[in-house]
Structure 1
Amino acid sequence: MDYQYYISAWIYKVLKQADKDFAQFLHEQGYGQNTTKLYKLFCFSRLDFGKPKLWKEKKLFEISEHTIILQISFDVTEAASNFIKGLFMKQEFYLGDKFNGIDFKVAGVEALPEPKFSETMYYRLQTPWVVSFKTETDKHPQYLSPNDKDFDTLAIKHLVEKYKSTRKAEFIDSGQISFKRITDFKRAGFVIKPGTSQKSRIVGNLFDFELTAPPEIHRMIWGAGVSEKSSTGFGWCEITNGPDSV
């Protein structure tokens, strides 16, 4: 059930096969040299595998579908995007741990058209939006819910930092960004590095929201997700038509 870590590792492996330096840059640095957090340049959706049988006690999905869909987005130029698209064609890989998994073969890659970005847009989170906070005395991060008073402030701060660390364009500050939830939230998360000594559970939130920001912020979200830890599959969202589509 906690397959996101293995997908992230596979994406890095594909990039590394083509360009070792670029993959190492993504993994170790992302963009940005002067921020306390360094951001990765991609995000990905959940696997679309129909309605699997759930073995909850073993934390396993039993999948009967033969065609599975995964969406990946990269916050890079169009030229780099076309290059990356070619990397994933005809890839064969194993997804899982040493006990349970599936052999996959990429049957096709399709590039989705970029949407038209406006200042106010509506989104539905498909993977959790993580907002974390850690003091000097905290051993582990605190994963906030939208009910926490600092959630909105830290969420917007993250978007501004992410933009500053990946762009050399016009200046953007927190005052240019606002968002509001338009549905109730659900706590959700998954385990990173399962089966290792670095195993940890990261928890975020699922909800629909309205975001007002410069169009370039929306373009960044389209390419690299809205959340912290986007390269591990958090913060993938789809554009909706607003409250009427809930």
Structure 2
Amino acid sequence: MRLKITLNRTSRQRMLPMDYQYLISAWIYKVLKQADKDFASFLHEKGYGLSDTKLYKLFCFSRLDFGKPKMWKERKLFEIKEQEITLQISFDVSEAATHFIKGLFMSQEFYLGDRFNGIDFKVTSVEALAEPEFSETMHYRLQTPWVVSYKPEGRKYAQYLKPNEPMFNTLSVKHLKEKFLNTRKDGTIETPIVLKLCGPSKRSGFLVKSGTNKETRVVGNIFDFELQAPIELQKMLWNAGVSEKSSSGFGWCEVNNKQMDN
């Protein structure tokens, strides 16, 4: 389920931190908590899952659509002139939950920013978007980075892989498969999952928990890709993102219609 949320600036502030993704994730959890503390706590602490060792937070969100802002690179800020901007949020939930979740975001008023810079917004509309027509072979275009991490033995920190590294494809497919099987009671995958990159990739990332003692930069890659997989798995990645850390805004993708038509 994807929602298109329209936000209206309600103050004169224009400056927004460039690494705003974590701020959006925190706002989503806050909205859920206001409506259902138990559900929000479950989503944040455990996520969905059938296994004690593999639990996932099955939602994702897009970048903010705010036109062409002025960039203050030295201050790591966007200066946003648009009065109205949009954001898409997706949840991998049953159809019955659509109206409930849609209602949670209606008329929300909130501040998006840190202690120094941010903007006050009000939600003016929430629209449920139609799903594309899925098939077992789909072409996608990433809008936010696909993160694939690997922690070599003896190293303190994880290594973020590039698509041309041997383990990237293997770990990507493994993650998608586990994410699907561990969140479906009767989920099965009887055919191989095949991931194929289409064209060049671009390294991209952003800070998570910026301004805190847990601040870290997460790095992934943006590229077009073809995926051969069961239709139900295609739906899952559409609603939950393809990447690790999807609940922090990584792995948001759109159907690449140009490739689909070829």
Deviation, 1:169, is 2.2
Q: Is the Cα contact below 8 Å between 2:50 and 2:184 reproduced in 1?
A: no
Candidates 190, 204, 219, aligned match of 2:220 = 204
Q: Are residue 124 (structure 1) and residue 145 (structure 2) matched?
A: no
Pair 35,125 (structure 1): closer, same or farther in 2 beyond 3 Å: farther
Rounded to whole Å, the distance in 2 between the matches of 1:72 and 1:204 is 20
User: Which position in structure 1 is the counterpart of 2:104?
Assistant: 87
Candidates 145, 167, 170, aligned match of 1:153 = 170
- SS in structure 1 at match of 2:86: coil
Deviation, 1:241, is 2.0
- SS in structure 2 at match of 1:107: strand
- SS in structure 1 at match of 2:129: coil
Rounded to whole Å, the distance in 1 between the matches of 2:244 and 2:115 is 28
Alpha-carbon RMSD across the aligned residues, in angstroms, is 1.5
Q: Is the Cα contact below 8 Å between 1:182 and 1:243 reproduced in 2?
A: no
Pair 8,98 (structure 1): closer, same or farther in 2 beyond 3 Å: same
Which runs of 5 or more structure 2 residues have no equivalent in the other structure? 1-17
Q: Is the Cα contact below 8 Å between 1:210 and 1:242 reproduced in 2?
A: no
Rounded to whole Å, the distance in 2 between the matches of 1:91 and 1:124 is 30
Candidates 224, 232, 236, aligned match of 1:216 = 232
User: Which position in structure 1 is the counterpart of 2:15?
Assistant: none
1:184-199 mapped onto 2 (5 Å cutoff): 184-199=200-215
User: Which position in structure 2 is the counterpart of 1:139?
Assistant: 156
Rounded to whole Å, the distance in 1 between the matches of 2:213 and 2:117 is 19
Deviation, 1:38, is 2.1
Q: Is the Cα contact below 8 Å between 1:44 and 1:71 reproduced in 2?
A: yes
Deviation, 1:137, is 1.7
Mean Cα deviation higher: 3-12 or 127-136: 127-136
Rounded to whole Å, the distance in 1 between the matches of 2:41 and 2:187 is 28
Rounded to whole Å, the distance in 1 between the matches of 2:234 and 2:184 is 13
Rounded to whole Å, the distance in 1 between the matches of 2:69 and 2:261 is 26
Choose between structure 1 and 2: higher strand proportion: 2
- SS in structure 2 at match of 1:158: helix
TM-score by length of 1: 0.96
Deviation, 1:163, is 0.5
Rounded to whole Å, the distance in 2 between the matches of 1:181 and 1:75 is 25
Deviation, 1:33, is 4.7
1:44-123 mapped onto 2 (5 Å cutoff): 44-123=61-140
User: Which position in structure 2 is the counterpart of 1:40?
Assistant: 57
Deviation, 1:34, is 2.5
Which runs of 5 or more structure 1 residues have no equivalent in the other structure? none
Deviation, 1:35, is 5.6
Q: Is the Cα contact below 8 Å between 2:109 and 2:121 reproduced in 1?
A: yes
- SS in structure 2 at match of 1:166: coil
Rounded to whole Å, the distance in 2 between the matches of 1:32 and 1:241 is 32
Pair 35,155 (structure 1): closer, same or farther in 2 beyond 3 Å: farther
User: Structure 1 vs Structure 2: percent identity of aligned residues?
Assistant: 69
Q: Is the Cα contact below 8 Å between 1:176 and 1:214 reproduced in 2?
A: no
Mean Cα deviation higher: 27-36 or 52-61: 27-36
Total equivalences in the alignment: 245
TM-score by length of 2: 0.90
Deviation, 1:245, is 7.7
Q: Is the Cα contact below 8 Å between 1:35 and 1:161 reproduced in 2?
A: no
